[in-house]
Structure 1
Amino acid sequence: MKFKRMNTALLTVALVFLFTNNCFAHYGMVIPSDNMIMQEDNRTIQLSLSFSHPFEGIGMELSSPKAFYVVKDGKKQDLTGNLSPLSVMDKPGWTLDYLVKRPGAYAFVMEPAAYWEPAEDCYIVHTTKTIVAAFGGDTGWDEELGLKTEIIPLSKPFGLYAGNLFQGIVKLDGKVVPYAEVEVEFYNEHKTAVAPTDYMVTQTVKADQNGVFSYCAPVCGWWGFAALNTSDKKMMHNGEKKDIELGAVIWVKFEAWQEK
């Protein structure tokens, strides 16, 4: 009986530990060193690519992306071959230096390889984008890129103050997703923010019947928005067909209000 009680207690602890460490959302991340480049700024930006729990600062391994590219004025430039390894949150990620030459909006997109998540018994594919504006131009910030799934911003995804409203449309296969769930999480880069409870680590908002969602970021910094849907296709894992979680992710930076 003593050993039985001990085994039960150990199992309970293990289950609690498993739940605690897997209840937070996964996010693909594409974070530039600067998302609003002015004439006097350094024109070469560094982009870091990773896969993580951003609020908790828990990194996960990001294998070599299936594709990484930039879209400007409807033209796509492949950057996959220019990526170099980088440690992000103590886990393998990737980096790239990019020279910005002309005014306008640049959409950087990462299409990752499928990631197997045992805790959710499915594969995860988070197509992630971040938009950088340069030299006073911003044409193309709301451009639809034709991704399998994506969030199309209705608010400029730059030049926002903390407290401003950010809105976007969730699409899957080019069609809006009514009442889509969108997970929202703060990139706690310096680990200074503390959540009152685990419920506050990842927040969730629902889109309306037109696939439009809204969110006001309470503080400045990078915020990730991930709209999750299940693919109509499956992938094999150990001889069994498994679901594929498709994430449309966009990262948006909110700025602090400043006065003289």
Structure 2
Amino acid sequence: MIRFALSLVIALAFATTAAAHFQELIPNTEIIITASENPVELHLQFTHPMERGPLMNMAQPVQFGVISPTGREDLLPNLTAHSIADHQTFSASYRIKQPGDYLFFVEPAPYWEPAEGVMIIHYTKVIVSAFGAENGWDTEIGLPVEIIPLTRPYGLWTGNLFTGVVKHNGQLVPFAEVEVEWRNDSSIKPPASPFVTQVVKTDANGVFSYAMPHSGWWGFAALLNGDQPLKNPAGNAVPVELGALIWVRTRDMK
């Protein structure tokens, strides 16, 4: 009985530490229709979205920007740091200047995860469409790892199929594992751990698809091995987990 209880504690501890990390980059809306919806408010935090936490501490991002109809813009000066339960998160406000699609992206500072023995870098993006132009959503930002949407990443109904292609240094990545999580609003309690993080794989051409069964924000994270190790806080060289993330929102048809 004691051995069983100890095994259960270990299993539960592993399940907690092994939970999927997702870099969030969430705007207050994915579609701007009127000027009253300007500016866009973006929230950045590193967490487990389906489980609503816990938060991990975010250091100052390496880069944060947007690609818009006017080109590429550095938004690092726009970031405001916040403290939630002694963990740092960020927010930013951005005023849309003209019709078109706006691709917001962040390269966070490497995060040391001792439970997995890796440094984590999740290159993350989200697309906001403004004033009905609906062009530019499939533009490649040129991140080291990136998901390029093949489905327009806005105007999505609940149940729509989202399809994307995973690239690493500009090359297609076949048979890559893609983790999928819904940003829980506390209305759903997963019945078992496999329901927390959905898992799909890319095909031979680096393409994956997933049908989103609930309204809200969905994160797609293709996890790849880094090319070079990094030093952890103790100064030891450790592997790097690179994540290519994209966030999309679905809405109920009503």
Band the TM-score falls in, shorter-chain normalisation = over 0.9
Match of 1:71 in 2: 67
Contact 1:50 1:88 in 2 (8 A): no
Letter in 1 for 2:132: G
What SS does the aligned partner of 1:60 have? coil
Superposition pairs for residues 146-225 of structure 1, below 5 Å? 146-188=142-184, 190-225=185-220
Aligned residues: 252
Superposition pairs for residues 14-25 of structure 1, below 5 Å? 15-25=10-20
What SS does the aligned partner of 1:77 have? strand
- Show structure 2 runs of 5+ residues with no match: none
What SS does the aligned partner of 2:37 have? coil
Match of 2:239 in 1: 243
Q: Return the match for 2:100 from 91, 98, 104.
A: 104
TM-score, normalised to structure 1's length?
0.91
**Matched residues in 1 for 2:24 and 2:101: separation?**
19
Larger radius of gyration: 1
Match of 1:226 in 2: 221
**Matched residues in 2 for 1:75 and 1:16: separation?**
49
Label 1:239 to 1:45 Cα distance change in 2 as closer, same or farther (>3 A).
closer
TM superposition shift of 1:232: 1.5
What is the CA deviation profile of residues 209-259 of structure 1, one whole-angstrom value per residue up to 9, with x for unaligned ones?
Answer: 00000000001100000000001101123343211000000000011101x
Superposition pairs for residues 21-170 of structure 1, below 5 Å? 21-39=16-34, 41-58=36-53, 59-73=55-69, 75-87=71-83, 91-170=87-166
Letter in 2 for 1:226: A
Contact 1:227 1:248 in 2 (8 A): yes
**Matched residues in 1 for 2:84 and 2:143: separation?**
26
What SS does the aligned partner of 2:115 have? coil
Task: Say what the alpha-carbon RMSD is for the aligned residues.
Answer: 1.9
Contact 1:186 1:221 in 2 (8 A): yes
**Matched residues in 2 for 1:242 and 1:69: separation?**
28
TM superposition shift of 1:89: 7.8
**Matched residues in 2 for 1:150 and 1:247: separation?**
8
- Identity of matched residues, %: 43
Letter in 2 for 1:165: L
Contact 1:57 1:89 in 2 (8 A): no
TM-score, normalised to structure 2's length?
0.94
**Matched residues in 2 for 1:180 and 1:19: separation?**
23
Letter in 1 for 2:56: M
Contact 2:226 2:241 in 1 (8 A): yes
Label 1:166 to 1:114 Cα distance change in 2 as closer, same or farther (>3 A).
same
- Show structure 1 runs of 5+ residues with no match: none
What SS does the aligned partner of 2:13 have? helix
